[in-house]
Structure 1
Amino acid sequence: MREPSWRREGADPDYRFTLANERTFLAWIRTALALLAGGVLLHQFATELEPRVVVLVLAIVLAIAAAVLSVGAYTRWRANEIAMRRNGPLPFSWVLPLLSGVGLLAAGLLAVLFLVTR
């Protein structure tokens, strides 16, 4: 695999910052895997929650959020690496508000489903 052109820009950052950026990337990937696992869990094992179509839609939303978060994790990691190489400020991440919104939506829908299914 060839090295991306941005890796030849600027100066190599302190390896501690590079490794911290990588750990953050891996944390985002773990979160994406947890969202995906939650979607699979809802679809396969939450058989008593009704209406079933809402459970299915929530599972699909969680799976899509996992895919979006995976892409966002890479773009965030890359943007941080470029900023560190150029000695610039770290860029804003749209992933945080999006992830918070998905979490709020999922928690709210599940709370309503638990109350309705009683």
Structure 2
Amino acid sequence: MTVLSKEDLIEIRTLLSLNKTPQEIFEFRVANALRGERDWKRRTIYDACKKIQAQQGSVERRHGSGRPRTVRTEENVDRVERLLQSPPRLPGTHLSARKVARATGISRSSVRRLFYQ
């Protein structure tokens, strides 16, 4: 799947506003040597046109359209927080991020992201 940059989407939106069809946009890209180097597929242009028209000309991503975060649940945040805190009687004896990751089954980078945000 080809991913289009924001500039590419703006260019497609501009051509759509000039009443170009997706087929004409594709032919324009192929005919223009400088722009044709990005190797757009016909299906990519058709999908981009459909998306731009469905969003009333917007080229921004919709809020929440990315991959949902699955680690940042309340339960996981509480578990990591409890393990990373030192007991009141023994300051400085908290577990390391690596040990917390091993104990919870959450990756070390996610543990760091949860606690050291």
**TM-score of the superposed pair, with normalisation by structure 1:** 0.25
* Structure number having the greater helix percentage: 1
Which protein shows a greater Rg? 2
User: Does 1 or 2 have the higher relative contact order (CA < 8 Å, sep 6+)?
Assistant: 1
**TM-score of the superposed pair, with normalisation by structure 2:** 0.25
